[in-house]
Amino acid sequence: MCIIKARRLSDMKKQNRFYLYCGILMLLSELWKQWCLTYILNHGQYNWWYFPFQLCSIPMYLCLVIPWIHTERLRSILITFLMNFGLLGGIFAFFDTSGMHYEYLPLTIHSYAWHILLITIGLFAGLSKEADDSAKGFLGSACCYLSCCLLATFFNLTFYQYGAINMFYISPHYYMNQIVFRDIVRLWGNEAGILSYIAATVFGGWLFHQSWKTALKK
């Protein structure tokens, strides 16, 4: 029993180092990105459109937080989020790479590397044996995602007065322009487009969750 416990503790320390190193790398690269966007592309004026709170930004914060969380349930929820929604964001960004290209080439390279790292982190989380592949596990990760949506809406409404901002692409001030959802906007309005986008993301996270559940059973 003591050997098993020691082995689990050792594995957790290795996983914590992985998350922490990834989080620090992402944080430093994000600070560099913000500097480049502000001083190289925008002549010293901060552009709120690039405020780091998109679905693909959340894993940076989680990777910095997870190593310090000792509550097993909360830690499991965050790791399950990475394997579901973090992986979803990393993969689906490559289905439409228009938002990953910048006038400054190093930023474009950074964007591609960032999303590849998201996929790596998501796969690591799914294989870590700390994620919860049960229905309860998915519900926890979905609540985490929806909480981020609420916080994104707060940012969108609060910081809109300072400049263009569209966190999670759900700002009521802008029409959805993603494929499929922009058609929904034309037919039923922007609110329907935003709600369908959130619902589709939750459904996508559920599909990833079910895929993990099937794969981990083999």
How would you write 156-187 as a 3-class SS string? HHHHHHHCCCCHHHCCCCCCCCCCCHHHHHHH
What's the pLDDT at 111? 98
For helices 58-65 and 72-81, what crossing angle results, to 10°?
150
Specify if 93 maps to a domain: yes
Position 4, amino acid: I
What's the pLDDT at 12? 82
Q: Which domain holds residue 77?
A: 22-35+47-217
What's the pLDDT at 2? 58
Specify if 17 maps to a domain: no
SS3 177: coil
Specify if 7 maps to a domain: no
Low-confidence ranges of the chain (pLDDT < 50): none
The alpha carbon dihedral of 68, 74, 75, 80 has a sign of: negative
What's the pLDDT at 170? 96
pTM of the complete model: 0.94
What's the pLDDT at 166? 96
| Tens-place pLDDT, residues 22-62 | 999 999 999 999 999 999 999 999 999 999 999 999 999 99
Q: Number of structural domains, the chain?
A: 1
For residues 197 and 181, give the distance between their C-alpha atoms in angstroms, rounded to a whole number: 7
The angle at the Cα of 107, spanning 112 to 40, to the nearest 5 degrees, equals 170
For residues 213 and 149, give the distance between their C-alpha atoms in angstroms, rounded to a whole number: 25
Specify if 139 maps to a domain: yes
Residue 41: is it exposed, middle or buried by C-beta count within 10 angstroms (0-12/13-18/19+)? middle
Specify if 10 maps to a domain: no
Specify if 30 maps to a domain: yes
What's the pLDDT at 147? 98
What's the pLDDT at 199? 97
Specify if 3 maps to a domain: no
What's the pLDDT at 87? 98
Instruction: Give the contacts of 2 (CB within 8 A, at least 6 positions apart).
Output: none
